[in-house]
Amino acid sequence: MVFRCKRCCVHVALGLLLAMPILMCGCSSDSARSPSPQAESTTSQDASAIAADAYVWGLPLVVTMRMMQRAAPNIGVNRLFLRQQLTDPTTDTVPLSNVDTLMASAVLDLRNGPLVLTVPEIKDRYYSFQFLDMYTEAFAYIGTRTTGGEAGSWVIAPPGWDGELPPGDSLISASTPLVYLLGRFLVSGADDLPAARAVMAQVSLEPLTPGQPTPAPSSLGPPPGIPMDAASAGAAFFDELGDILAVNPPTSEADRAALARFAAIGVGPGLHPAADGTPESRAALAKGVADGAARIVQGATSSNRSANGWDSHEQLGNYGDDFLVRASTAQFGWGANVLEEAVYLVSTKEANGEAYSGVRNYVLHFPAGELPPAKAFWSLTLYGADLFLVENPAKRYAIGDRTPGLQSNPDGSLDIYLQQSPPPGHESNWLPTPAGGFVLEMRIYLPEPAVLDGTYRLPAVMPN
């Protein structure tokens, strides 16, 4: 189930996302006069501007649906899939994926009724189940942080459901009928894999009324394209979006207001402005897609928090009306957690502004007592310039608090060496680099308050 697209994954970083102003439509409401050629040109420009906004707004829905359509033939619908191996370069499917946890996933179609997720007591291992709606809003969590690792059953209900809960069960009200469920179970090395698998095997996903016949979920259909390459659809992107909206209407006032404005160019639930439009309108839509895609790339190179060459964003998982951040995250880091669950800090350049290169050696030095403050774990992962894992002879793609044999210096400080060949005498602290450019991402799971408020700052990566 590999659907990586290096052509559309640029050298950017998850979380380096800053909202840009949304262009408002300036078209005239006076339709009585026959427009001049200049007026027609202006109208076309306005339509393209609205289409660019609509592309930014709608991209998360299209990416998420394509992810579901890709996954469903392999893992089914309304069935829990438990991955048995950690991610590596041969199984990497989305940009900036982690190598710290075994993943569980499920494509949930709640149109035929609720499902029940049952989890055993898990108090000696970090885990989480993240519920993503079609707008990539993380609307609910079960796990170490939110439920304390307690055993329980949670009824996952579609919007508007008012049925009766079984005694002792808790309710999770989904914000859209289609939901992507992402589970993460921390693994402390290869020797810990059997124990992690055994815990995951105790989790179940069943209909609310087990044993009774349940209508089969509707087919999600084949994906029109690669999830992270939606822009290549051109104007047809909006036809795809219309079908998704027909099942998953907006969930917030900000989204409803935005969609109401997009009706001016024929974008909306069940609408197909490309198939039903004129050559001129299709051209305007296609230009809007190209402009919107460029805006997402441009926005992804900005950050609202930067220190020592590390960039992050303060708004992930729950986006409000920041549609550009939401789109950029869907494009370059789909499935990001809320900050209370995990903070992502990304570095693409040396402290002097020069891009990382495997032809040079680097060191990340943590003074004594200044390791990333995490209640769960921290991990530094290295990616190629395309944001995917890079094969290396040591088969080590991350280094962190669970790395076997990690050695501190006599004064209690810690050095992580980033270079192509192992550093003599410091092999346990070595993170292999590729020959070309690369990107670093630090994950801090269940971050302490100093991380959330920006008091804690990662040290700069320095040439060694």
Across 178-187, 219-228, 279-288, least confident range? 219-228
Residue range 104-130: average pLDDT? 97
Which strand ranges, in their side-by-side order, compose the sheet holding 115-119?
Answer: 170-173, 152-157, 115-119, 204-207
CA distance 156 to 343: 27
Band the pLDDT of 301: cuts 50, 70, 90: low
Residue range 288-303: average pLDDT? 86
What six digits make up the tokens of 211?
Answer: 């044993």
Q: CA 114, 115, 120, 122: dihedral to nearest 10 degrees? A: -80
Q: Give me the helix-helix angle, 253-262 and 37-75, nearest 10°.
A: 130
Handedness of CA 205, 98, 343, 132 (dihedral sign): negative
* Residue 132 exposure: Cα atoms within 13 Å on the Cβ side: 29
CA distance 386 to 420: 18
Residue range 46-72: average pLDDT? 97
Buried b (16+ CB within 10 A) or exposed e, 230-266: bbebbbbbbbbbbbbbebbbbbeeebeebbebbeebb
The DSSP 8-state label assigned to residue 125 in this structure reads S
Band the pLDDT of 93: cuts 50, 70, 90: confident
Number of other CB atoms surrounding residue 104 within 10 Å: 20
Helices vs strands, H then E, count in the chain: 8, 19
Percent of the chain past pLDDT 90, that is, above it, reads: 79
The overall average pLDDT reported for the chain is 88
- pLDDT at site 37: 34
Cα-based distances in Å from 209 to 114, 166, 174, 205, 428: 9, 10, 18, 12, 51
pLDDT digits (tens, 9 = 90+) for 3-45: 444 433 333 333 333 222 222 233 333 333 333 333 333 477 8
- pLDDT at site 48: 96
- If DSSP codes are grouped into helix, strand and coil, which group holds residue 305? strand
CA distance 26 to 29: 9
Write out the H or E segment, with its range, that includes residue 380. strand 374-384
CA distance 417 to 292: 39
CA distance 71 to 178: 13
CA distance 22 to 38: 24
Q: With 60 as the cut, is the pLDDT of residue 450 above it?
A: yes
Residue range 275-289: average pLDDT? 97
- pLDDT at site 17: 31
User: Are residues 134 and 67 in contact, defined by beta-carbon separation less than 8 angstroms?
Assistant: no
pLDDT digits (tens, 9 = 90+) for 345-387: 999 998 788 899 999 999 999 999 999 999 999 999 999 999 9
- pLDDT at site 214: 59
- pLDDT at site 189: 87
Residue given tokens 């949930």 in the structure block: 108
The letter for the amino acid at 230 is: A
Residue range 413-437: average pLDDT? 97
- pLDDT at site 15: 35
More confident residue, 310 or 27: 310
More confident residue, 30 or 120: 120
Residue range 219-245: average pLDDT? 95
The DSSP 8-state label assigned to residue 76 in this structure reads -
The letter for the amino acid at 293 is: A
The reported pTM is 0.86
- pLDDT at site 210: 66
Residue range 126-137: average pLDDT? 98
pLDDT digits (tens, 9 = 90+) for 141-199: 999 999 999 999 999 999 999 999 999 999 999 999 999 999 999 999 889 999 999 99
CA distance 196 to 239: 42
Band the pLDDT of 306: cuts 50, 70, 90: confident
User: Are residues 266 and 281 in contact, defined by beta-carbon separation less than 8 angstroms?
Assistant: yes
- pLDDT at site 211: 61
**Rg, the chain, Cα only:** 23
Q: With 80 as the cut, is the pLDDT of residue 217 above it?
A: no
- pLDDT at site 50: 97
